[in-house]
Structure 1
């Protein structure tokens, strides 16, 4: 599968080895890339090589390469190779360090491996042969070997990326559609252990349910499966959501709200307009959620946005952590009012007693009043949260507790 966004081409699936072999063949013909980055997720133990970790790594690469042209190859063993024709060595070195930092302390490597081996960069002008040797297990399939001796098949050579066309259709649709009709509210509530405990409302996250938008603009396309497309989409979508909120500020701020935004959106003219129209007391009713990958990908931009939002009265939430990564983010508390932890039944089943104890300590260390367990779709999520000291919850099960007869699904 080939897709692209912001100049970065992604190749994923059974043809990845063949396509990488072709790219390396171009390099030997003096028309290839200057630098390469090898992210060896196959070195992670199985617990830390879930789809979540692979998706997070791909998402981080798109953030880090937002201004770069390049090619990303994703393999069946979860390894990733990034070829960069025009980047500077210093930028590649910084990106490699940040990719390592993404997993540092959050993962367990296979025995006998070290963190530096997880992600390395190569200067292909002087390390090209070494890099080809490293890649040989990925390119040494029968198809990849044949690709070195034959021109690329017409179906590959003439293939047009799917995403630019979809992206164009999405952007045209977003420019004309009434986003306000797609806005949803999902409550975040304090629920203490014990029978008969009634949820106490903290805030409501205002968001667009992407599947509803997809069914209107691009039915049959899984937007969430493609992080490249989804990230580009959310930048424009954030601004449309802000515009919809601005149209009826008083109604939208009757109770506290939470908005999930990327750093670029926070610096947009629409957000500046929202700030100007809000009184200090109204700003205190809004929590801005920032994804943890945005924090890691550009710490400088994050620090600026953190200071800016805090100084003008907004509360901040860190979004995107999971049951494994949350303890590390809790240990390095960087000043969020809340941290959102995604509950996942499959991950919970893999947790050892030591993992549960680590979660319990992390909640206590950060403060139970600062942790929100989200994506709670079943009663088991609530029970799990109470086991590790969580008091705030969000998800479909909470919706059902508050409105058991509602047929609308968030």
Structure 2
């Protein structure tokens, strides 16, 4: 039996209370899909996990609840515990490549919370009540913010037309951002090596279509970025910005590199200028059509451009062979969870991949804290990009000075909150 997705938390609590008298016959499990890191961002992966649980629930007449926090709660008869455990084991194996499971058995235990009506009924009710309270608070916050849902609907045909029109009419001089890629040595002071030029489609669509999700379909998003590539190439061909006279990188689709617009742009450059341009290609674009990439690679290298593979994360890193793909640089996405993975069971293949690629050729991107630089240095990486580097450059400080300022701010915060906490407890 499966409940409808509306107010599942209340339905779960009601169901548990109805089974109180016959509780000794039942067990429950909360599957924490919300704890996933990489797969949680892929709806199709979550749907497969939910389908696996729905099938076992249907076969064994268990009650399944899909919670607002993306977890699954299953209440089932004690007699089918072996079948339920088998499905949970299969689910963990299917999801094992998610970074959450980098801690091995400890993460697998944390992935599922088990409850026994016999002896643990109060804990089960407490968990259901806490989930309901969390849902009520979330709904209240949603109403307070005007009733707008966090989930956006997929981009409609009308929305697609509006975005395409906006791209053709956009003033790229006001939409184009520049983010530095820096070298950070042991002294902690960033040195700008080059800037990445990019125009954010998400920022454009947030203004035009705040309720539609341009990322819902990867290939539709790539189509829109290809349209933006054409405008960017035309703008670069006419622009005399001083920034463009030095080394810069440009994120671009492979199809755009083989378009008449790129050939026109290429024809306006001399060999010296081509040598200063780094073309960033998304790794999924490379593997989507390797034949096209290999042709584009030979063309670009012959013309003197440099290639950087972008969009690489800890899961795809072991499959990236930089030298075989003819790339000079690889961008690896840093995340707060990366250190735990490297120190866990996934550490060996990640370290081996970094060694194979050559650490000085890797750029840590999306760096939001000093830990990104510290971890990079431990691995031999010295190139970084992200908001933390932007902050260091803006404030003209080293990473050590930034850490000291943060520590001082946290100390002041603790000193201010301690008296209030003491008063509240008295």
Same-fold call, TM cutoff 0.5: yes
8 Å CA contact 1:188–1:394 kept in 2: the answer is: yes
Structure 2 vs 1, CA of residues 358 and 75 (structure 1 numbering), >3 Å: closer, same or farther? closer
8 Å CA contact 1:188–1:392 kept in 2: the answer is: yes
8 Å CA contact 1:331–1:362 kept in 2: the answer is: no
Q: Alignment partner of 1:271: what SS?
A: helix
| 1:297 shift after superposition | 1.3
| 1:178 shift after superposition | 1.0
Structure 2 vs 1, CA of residues 350 and 359 (structure 1 numbering), >3 Å: closer, same or farther? closer
Structure 2 vs 1, CA of residues 304 and 249 (structure 1 numbering), >3 Å: closer, same or farther? farther
Q: In structure 1, how many angstroms separate the alpha carbons of the residues matched to 2:254 and 2:322?
A: 23
Structure 2 vs 1, CA of residues 111 and 286 (structure 1 numbering), >3 Å: closer, same or farther? same
| 1:336 shift after superposition | 0.5
| Residue aligning to 2:367 | 376
Is residue 346 of structure 1 aligned with residue 337 of structure 2?
Answer: yes
Structure 2 vs 1, CA of residues 398 and 161 (structure 1 numbering), >3 Å: closer, same or farther? closer
Q: What are structure 2's unaligned runs of at least 5 residues?
A: 6-34, 53-89, 95-152, 398-426
Q: What are structure 1's unaligned runs of at least 5 residues?
A: 1-13, 15-45, 59-73, 81-108, 114-159
The structure 2 residue matched to 1:392, chosen from 378, 383, 386, is 383
TM-score of the superposed pair, with normalisation by structure 1: 0.59
Is residue 51 of structure 1 aligned with residue 23 of structure 2?
Answer: no
Q: Alignment partner of 1:77: what SS?
A: helix
Q: Alignment partner of 1:253: what SS?
A: helix
8 Å CA contact 1:258–1:287 kept in 2: the answer is: yes
8 Å CA contact 2:308–2:329 kept in 1: the answer is: yes
| Residue aligning to 1:77 | 49
| 1:210 shift after superposition | 3.0
Q: Alignment partner of 1:75: what SS?
A: helix
| 1:387 shift after superposition | 1.9
Q: In structure 2, how many angstroms separate the alpha carbons of the residues matched to 1:184 and 1:112?
A: 42
The structure 2 residue matched to 1:184, chosen from 177, 182, 186, is 177
8 Å CA contact 1:180–1:241 kept in 2: the answer is: no
Q: In structure 1, how many angstroms separate the alpha carbons of the residues matched to 2:333 and 2:367?
A: 8
| Residue aligning to 1:258 | 249
| Residue aligning to 1:169 | 162
RMSD: 3.5
Q: Give the length in aligned residue pairs.
A: 274
Q: Alignment partner of 1:168: what SS?
A: helix
| Residue aligning to 2:269 | 278
Which has the greater radius of gyration? 2
| 1:110 shift after superposition | 7.4
| 1:365 shift after superposition | 2.4
Q: Alignment partner of 1:290: what SS?
A: strand
Structure 2 vs 1, CA of residues 344 and 48 (structure 1 numbering), >3 Å: closer, same or farther? closer
More helix by percentage: 2
